[in-house]
Amino acid sequence: MEYLGIAMKVSKVSIIVNVILSAAKLAAGIIGNSSAMISDAIHSASDVFSTFVVIAGVKMSNKLSDDEHQYGHERMECVASILLAAVLFIVGAKIGFSGIEKIMTANYGELQIPSVLPLIAAVVSIGVKEWMYWYTRHAAKKINSGALMADAWHHRSDALSSVGSFAGILGARLGFPVLDPVASVVISLFILKVSFDVFKDSVNKLVDTSCDAELVEDMKEMILTEEGVLGIDLIQTRIFGSKIYVDIEIKADGEQSLEDAHSIAERVHDIIESKFPAVKHCMVHVNPYNQLSPEE
């Protein structure tokens, strides 16, 4: 399946990149006397955990329907996204509290000045993690994966963390060590905002939120092009994990045979499911125009 194949490929790349990057940043932080870079390395290591969560969520969401889950398992991906949002929140809060603690208690005159090595590591990290964000984001949009999109934002939060590390290390080398913890607090706010957005998106997909108006209008236009459809009485959509369910009531000539009316409904059903790949199931009900139409 293309969905699972793309998700697994991106996840494997993410794990390999994060393991290498975390080890490199940790070494740079220790050798270069930079606590900011060591914290940044820990943040990158948390991305490895988040990717394993994504893998588990995607695999569970792609399980076939069974007797206990007759509508499938797509919402398991939303659960994975919520777990990732929790990880982002914890990481962001920890970075923020650590930064505040350093601002309140540190004796800046006794702090060691970082070498240029962690500064180089921060620049490399920003470039690599920003590339990982766009790489993962592209795949997430292609397969409409909320968990993969959450993982993309985790990469972006790591890039922002590295920006903070760069600012703090540079400030310390220029004689302003207070910039290190201040940058950490600012970056933590960005990470907390991302965690909230990921959580909100996941919850919306769990509570049957409807699709956006533009998509619904596209569906209506498609339906009205079908021969025999005289109008639309109702169209309802609900997001179910990464998929969409659609319920439609169309108007058709009440004098025609049941077989002809069924044929119209089948064509509407088929065109919606074929033209809108995210639609998992479309239910079509036919109302006889001469009896149930509001205009009559």
Quick check: 198 and 153 in contact, CB under 8 A?
yes
User: What pLDDT does residue 201 have?
Assistant: 78
User: What pLDDT does residue 43 have?
Assistant: 75
Which residues, other chains included, contact 110 with Cβ-Cβ below 8 Å and sequence gap of 6+? none
Strand partners for 235: 248
**Domains in the chain: ranges and CATH:** 2-206 (1.20.1510.10), 213-292 (3.30.70.1350)
Which residues, other chains included, contact 95 with Cβ-Cβ below 8 Å and sequence gap of 6+? 39, 43, 161, 184, 185, 187, 188, 191
Which residues of the chain register pLDDT less than 70? 1-3, 61-62, 64-75, 106-112, 180, 241-242, 290-296
**Selection from 47, 30, 38, 23 nearest residue 168 by Cα:** 38
Alpha-carbon distance of 45 to 98, in angstroms, equals 18
User: What pLDDT does residue 269 have?
Assistant: 93
Quick check: 101 and 188 in contact, CB under 8 A?
no
Count Cα atoms within 13 angstroms, Cβ side, for 147: 30
Which residues, other chains included, contact 172 with Cβ-Cβ below 8 Å and sequence gap of 6+? 34, 111, 113, 114, 179, 180
**Selection from 157, 172, 65 nearest residue 114 by Cα:** 172
What does the pLDDT look like over 112-170, one tens digit per residue? 678 889 889 999 999 999 999 999 999 988 877 777 887 888 888 888 878 888 888 88
User: What pLDDT does residue 293 have?
Assistant: 45
Strand partners for 239: 244
Token pair listed for 33 = 């006397």
User: What pLDDT does residue 268 have?
Assistant: 93
User: What pLDDT does residue 282 have?
Assistant: 92
243-252/231-240 β-pairing: antiparallel
What does the pLDDT look like over 271-284, one tens digit per residue? 999 888 888 889 99
Alpha-carbon distance of 35 to 118, in angstroms, equals 10
Q: How many CB atoms lie within 10 A of CB 127?
A: 12
User: What pLDDT does residue 212 have?
Assistant: 84
Any idea what DSSP says for residue 174?
Answer: T
Token pair listed for 269 = 């059903």
Alpha-carbon distance of 187 to 88, in angstroms, equals 12
Which residues, other chains included, contact 178 with Cβ-Cβ below 8 Å and sequence gap of 6+? 103, 106, 108, 171
